[in-house]
Chain A
């Protein structure tokens, strides 16, 4: 009782410390590291963009709702900008465009003819009395080549993105929705904050009587996370309840129940504190997933209780518990080498949690627990068999073959999109014709001039692909800008000669010619537009999906629609310098393959470590071979089952397979190291009790969870059942055990 009270105090103290110090991190970058192109995409301009469709048949009403939303969002700190119409140009854009006009809109040779320049100056004069051109007319007067005017007109034309505008509000193509573009502030992605913002926007629209469709990388990521959280709560509630009922039914004692639960509580709190200390925060994935894996900690007090109630050797049981916890801990600690912060945290969480729980279970002990007649091992353990290892080898090979011919692990994403999200995307696609989310082309160059030249070459290639039916259409910066292939401009003297006389004909003072020539000279002498020169406008250009700055390079995305023959497009652009065809799905698969391979290597190293510890502790190689063969074959069987009836292997189901191995080692230690039939029967009873609790928890996950949780539940359930059966069968060695 004293030990139990002390343990309860320790558990409370650790829990209080964990609650007080733990900083829960939901930053998705931790899942794939800072260089993870998948999740860190949430921190790009594209990742922070979102689109809201306010669907209502009454155009006036939906426009009013859209405007009201934009006004509301003006004071929202999570939103950088929101607009229901064409985005207002940022301050300084006109001056920047003026300085860079010859790069963005090089005048064609005919623009330098004397008559053309006179006509242009007369147009510039007329613009002074036009509301549309008045604000920029002084620039027009300084540029008789018309470069700047054509640039402004082209950008104004492109600003609507090809969508209709009514009363200043952008409309869907089917005239059913008003569109609001939202640019989220450059803050780390936070699931709860994002969900709160999304909910408030959607409720605002629905309260006004319209339907809201909101999509964007961050809102979608937040919805996926929220769905996972909802599913986790159901699983935790149902699983926890059933587990408690089962333990009450089996243990039939409140003190015994406390002996089982306190080590788990100490393990969880200790794990949180360990991760917080080492990483500075606890990622939500480590907390949720690591917490579920640490449920294995229930096994340690159950082993002790079971052995106590069945008259087992307690000293040996304690030794085996420490051995099991240390081997599983070593296997999970290897995840620290995966290089992925959240996955590394899962490894540390499980290792620290299991170690703390094992020590706590031993420290609490089983004082007062007496032999229970009803729990006495009545069954004689099955006899040792010769064919165990060959059978496991064959099972492993067959399961491995099934996994290898099934779809690769990388074909699955980290998370599945809920059907509501895919329906929203499809609805928006019907309304505005979204570009392909899978295929795009990226053009990279050191200066904006060379980037535009590359895009113009690409335009020709894509025109051929379009003619051949390989693609519907494309959109890029170059096709929004005026100008041709010949950027050669006359020198200042030739320009001045062509200008002379034109000013008088246009009704302008001759003296103004000096200012025009000076402006022309400055434009000619401007340095090539590199990343430094583009940087001041990088934000607006990137949010319009035109150009972004990456280090000292400029990168522009070419959006594609209706890609029918990606292989042909990939082939066609291969020869173009600085041009890359990107298949997001393939890139994602490759990235996940690499991630899974890294985690796999870490586990292999971990298993090698386990084998070494086991061999040293058991002082024999044969039981180590038997233990590892059982749990590895069980893991292979679980993987094959997942490949056949599940959705394939993902990062998380791979870690669940590692748990199967960890549990298998734990069971194997007890069953394989029992020397006599009575000890074997006691161990069998103990493992049976542990397996039953594990199966309850993970079967609930398999039946009540969705997507990812269902797969994890199925993996562990099949694996635990298989490893329990495999471990209970003993190998009959032909020669004496060594």
Chain B
């Protein structure tokens, strides 16, 4: 999965990168996802749509490999699986809370909140910039990376326990 080429000038700092981001929180975004794990010869792939509801819940409607609609709130994730149409409400475990919070904040365009709750660090500037979001008070917590070009957020990389790397590419810009 590639996040595309970039001709925009490199950002000078993490703050400048975040301040320059243009995110339309009302937009419905098409995404592609790749999940890498040491056990897998090939990554798992998925795609679908994402959007944020006015009350701040992130809806992730996965079309393939299996249809699934997830509603990510502050404390709970509601998952509806198809074709069974089975719904389940799951409390978000502490291990996943910050990652999902970051995802919701970014998709909602709450860049200020991201800057306040995480320690943004610019790790790459060319050709795409990569912004590492580490948790202020939890150095052990696995980081989230924002990947973009100029004012565009192209995607995210989320590190999860068990050496899982989740790459999310936004086909249309959020």
* A residues at B contact (CB < 8 Å): 85-91, 93-94, 125-126, 128-132, 134-135, 137-139, 141-142, 156, 159-160, 165, 168, 503, 507-509, 512, 515
Contact = CB atoms under 8 A, between A and B. Distances in A.
A132 B81 contact: yes
B38 A509 contact: yes
Q: Tell which of B35, B39, B41 has the most Cβ of chain A within 10 Å.
A: B39
A732 to B, nearest CB: 84
Contacts of A90: 94
A88 B76 CA distance: 8
Nearest to A141: B39
Interface string B119-155: 0000000000000000000000000000000000000
A67 to B, nearest CB: 9
Contacts of A165: 89
B65 interface: yes
A436 to B, nearest CB: 28
A85 B91 contact: yes
Given A128-B164, A132-B81, A138-B164, A508 B40 contact: yes
Contacts of B91: 85-89, 159
Given A91-B95, A126-B65, A139 B81 contact: no
B104 interface: no
B161 interface: yes
B164 to A, nearest CB: 5
Contacts, number: 105
A94 B160 CA distance: 14
Interface stretch (B5-13, B15-23, B42-50, B109-117): B42-50
Interface in B73-110: 73, 75-79, 81, 88-96
A507 B41 contact: yes
A168 B75 contact: yes
A129 B45 contact: yes
B68 interface: yes
A365 to B, nearest CB: 73
Contacts of B38: 509, 512
Contacts of B39: 141, 503, 508-509, 512, 515
A159 to B, nearest CB: 7
A543 B79 CA distance: 26
Contact of A131 (B40, B70, B75, B95): B70
A88 B75 contact: yes
A88 B94 contact: yes
Nearest to A137: B164
B60 A135 contact: no
Contacts of B68: 130-132
Contacts of A126: 44, 65-66
A129 B94 contact: no
B87 to A, nearest CB: 10
A126 B35 CA distance: 10
Nearest to A91: B94
Q: Which 6 A-B pairs have the closest CB atoms?
A: A138-B162, A131-B70, A512-B39, A129-B46, A132-B79, A135-B96
B50 to A, nearest CB: 11
20 contacts: A86-B89, A88-B93, A90-B94, A91-B95, A94-B93, A126-B65, A128-B37, A128-B164, A131-B60, A132-B90, A135-B95, A135-B160, A138-B37, A138-B160, A138-B163, A138-B164, A141-B39, A142-B162, A160-B89, A512-B38
B89 A129 contact: no
A128 B46 CA distance: 10
Nearest to A125: B44
B160 to A, nearest CB: 7
Nearest to A516: B39
A131 B94 contact: no
A629 B46 CA distance: 93
A707 B164 CA distance: 65
A399 B39 CA distance: 84
Given A126-B66, A156-B88, A139 B162 contact: yes
A575 to B, nearest CB: 40
A515 B37 CA distance: 13
Nearest to B73: A168
Contacts of A85: 75-76, 89, 91
Given A129-B35, A132-B79, A89 B70 contact: no
Nearest to B48: A129
Nearest to B34: A129
Contact of B44 (A128, A138, A509): A128
A131 B77 contact: yes
Given A138-B162, A508-B39, A168 B44 contact: no
A170 to B, nearest CB: 10
A522 to B, nearest CB: 15
B160 A130 contact: no
B60 A141 contact: no
Nearest to B69: A131
B84 to A, nearest CB: 12
Contacts of B163: 138
A86 B90 CA distance: 8
Contacts of A86: 76, 89, 91
Contacts of B44: 125-126, 128-129
A512 B37 CA distance: 10
Contact of B79 (A130, A168, A508): A130
Contacts of B65: 126, 129
Contacts of A132: 68, 70, 77, 79, 81, 88, 90
A500 B2 CA distance: 34
A89 B41 contact: no
A142 B73 CA distance: 29
Nearest to A503: B39
Contacts of B66: 126, 129-130
A154 to B, nearest CB: 12
Contacts of B81: 130, 132
Contacts of A507: 40-42
Nearest to B99: A135
Given A137-B37, A508-B40, 5 more contacts: A88-B91, A88-B92, A91-B94, A131-B79, A135-B93
Contacts of B72: 131
Nearest to B87: A165
A114 to B, nearest CB: 18
